A and B are shown apart, each in its own frame.
Chain A
Amino acid sequence: MIGRENIDLIFSALDRQIGANGGRALSLVVCGGTALAALDLVSRTTRDVDILGRCLGGKISKMRVFPPWLARAAEKVGRDFQLPQGWLNLGPESQLDTGLPRGLSRRLKKRIYGKYLTILFVDRKDQIFFKLYAALDRDGYHETDLFRLQPLESELFSASRWVLTQDISEEFKEILMSFLKKHGYDTIAERL
């Protein structure tokens, strides 16, 4: 499992494995539970590292598949730290198709793990956006994560506005309003 106590160890190991496997320097944008733990926003463990894309010259772009050297490096680190298969994954990349919260790339929190690997963690504000969207789609830990981030009303309102750009159907808006009301944010629901 990946938690606050071993995140740096794991990324540092990945950096060295990239070097040992003939890789090149790259910057990865990480969201999800790993980013929450790394930035000390939510204290919980996670099974995987969600990659939103790679960042080059301030622009986040899709990788689609990992280059072979990164796949090999990730495989070794996964084995060495007993992480599940696919622990480093491009699951959230499709988010780049539907659009990111405005200013996300400016807010990224950068950590350099060595000669090869830089990780850009998605900031708290953007995590609120993503977590609200995920909580509407699926029950469970996304909702818990969202409220552990203790969003201000203004943040939740901005997040709600952004979420509505991801799915423009009336049904989805209903789901959002019902969610907000369920959690006592009637005023936000009425403003949408």
Chain B
Amino acid sequence: MDTIRSPKDFSRALSEKLLELLWGQWSILGIASYGRKPALLIDLEALILATEAAGNADQRLMASSRQWLMSFREWINLSRLKRMSRGFILGDPLIKTPLIQKTKWEGLLDDLDSKQLEDSEKSALINKRNDSVVTPPQLKKPSLGQLYLRGVFGVNARAEIYLYLSLEAKGNSTRIAREIHYDQRNVYRILERWTEAGLVVRESRLKENLYSLAPNQRFRELGAGVFPYWHWNDFFLLFARISAASSIPPWAEDAYLFSSLCRDLYPLASIVASSAKMSFPDPDLHVGQEYFEPFAQALLAVLDRFGE
């Protein structure tokens, strides 16, 4: 493993790997590209946010993803996207800058809101160049479980609730709503309906109701890939913060301040890594800026693993 000498060195390596992961996920959705196609489930809204945050580093990725979004807008849950965008467009509490420029973001939302394309327009958009880069998503691909469920339930909270229950086994409505980025009352109503219908089992434990899928109600095995993972919002938020900090002052020029930021992000990074049975170096074993290199190496290893 090469030594990472400075945040600037790290920024280059990180950007390369992050873009590779984003390209991989977009390629599964239908954008033509080379490189690895990751096997993990994709969260479309999280991917859009991560692409907007990282896209300035790769204009071709930005253009291709925009073309896909305009062509297949019907798969996007706009209200969920807006809800999830808060962590990206508000000034980040640690690096004190938005991870996505608000005006740029609002421009995209306006486009997505207004451009309900007719089929003919969509075909024209897809085929506007001979080397068309986007094709419709193939819902049977294991990584596209979310879109598959949207195909079944419609583009609403039901797809993500079902996905959550498939991957996490059980949870109460508040936790489920928080993790899938929907309104708690809406999630609660759906869970109660599903309980009445027998799709879901409700178990009362102390003061909370825990919901899980009823036996034999899994109509497709979800959780493709080397390990079950679907918390892409946390994942991309972590990497967007690290990526932004590694390229702007004062962190980009200061390995100590960057390592201090790494310590701030250690709890979130640990949660992300533990999903893949990985771990981050213990900050207590490294004093001052000594934490920078082991943490940076661990971040790159995590990116590799999640891109498998």
Contacts and interface: CB of A to CB of B under 8 A. Distances in A.
Interface of A: 9, 12-13, 16-17, 19-20, 76, 79-82
Contacts of B288: 9, 13, 80-81
Nearest to A79: B263
B265 to A, nearest CB: 13
A152 to B, nearest CB: 39
B250 A76 contact: no
Given A80-B288, A81-B288, 17 more contacts: A9-B288, A12-B256, A13-B256, A13-B260, A13-B288, A16-B256, A17-B257, A17-B260, A19-B250, A20-B260, A80-B256, A80-B260, A80-B263, A80-B287, A80-B291, A81-B287, A82-B284
A76 B287 contact: no
A122 B250 CA distance: 31
Contact of B250 (A13, A16, A79, A81): A16
Classify the interface of chain A: helix, strand, loop or mixed: helix
B290 to A, nearest CB: 10
Classify the interface of chain B: helix, strand, loop or mixed: helix
B179 interface: no
Given A79-B263, A80-B263, A16 B257 contact: yes
Interface in B244-282: 250, 254, 256-257, 259-260, 263
A82 B257 contact: no
A76 B284 contact: no
B250 A82 contact: no
Contact of A82 (B254, B259, B287): B287
A34 B13 CA distance: 40
A80 B263 CA distance: 8
Nearest to A13: B256
Contact of A20 (B257, B259, B287, B291): B257
Nearest to A21: B96
Contacts of A79: 260, 263
Interface string B215-242: 0000000000000000000000000000
A12 B257 CA distance: 11
Interface of B: 250, 254, 256-257, 259-260, 263, 284, 287-288, 291
A100 to B, nearest CB: 33
Contacts of A82: 284, 287
B254 A16 contact: yes
Contacts of B250: 16, 19-20
Contacts of B287: 80-82
Contacts of A17: 257, 260
A76 B259 CA distance: 11
Contacts of B256: 12-13, 16, 80
B122 to A, nearest CB: 47
Contacts of A20: 250, 257, 260
Contacts of A9: 288
Contacts of A19: 250
A82 B254 CA distance: 19
5 contacts: A9-B288, A16-B250, A80-B259, A80-B260, A80-B291
A17 B256 CA distance: 9
Nearest to B254: A16
A19 B257 CA distance: 10
A9 B256 CA distance: 10
Q: Which 8 A-B residue pairings sit nearest by Cβ, starting from the closest?
A: A80-B260, A16-B257, A76-B260, A13-B256, A80-B288, A20-B257, A81-B288, A81-B287
A60 to B, nearest CB: 29
A108 to B, nearest CB: 27
A2 to B, nearest CB: 12
Contacts of B291: 80
A12 B263 CA distance: 18
A80 B260 CA distance: 6
A184 to B, nearest CB: 43
A19 B256 CA distance: 13
A135 to B, nearest CB: 33
B41 to A, nearest CB: 36
B146 to A, nearest CB: 38
A76 B257 CA distance: 10
A16 B260 CA distance: 11
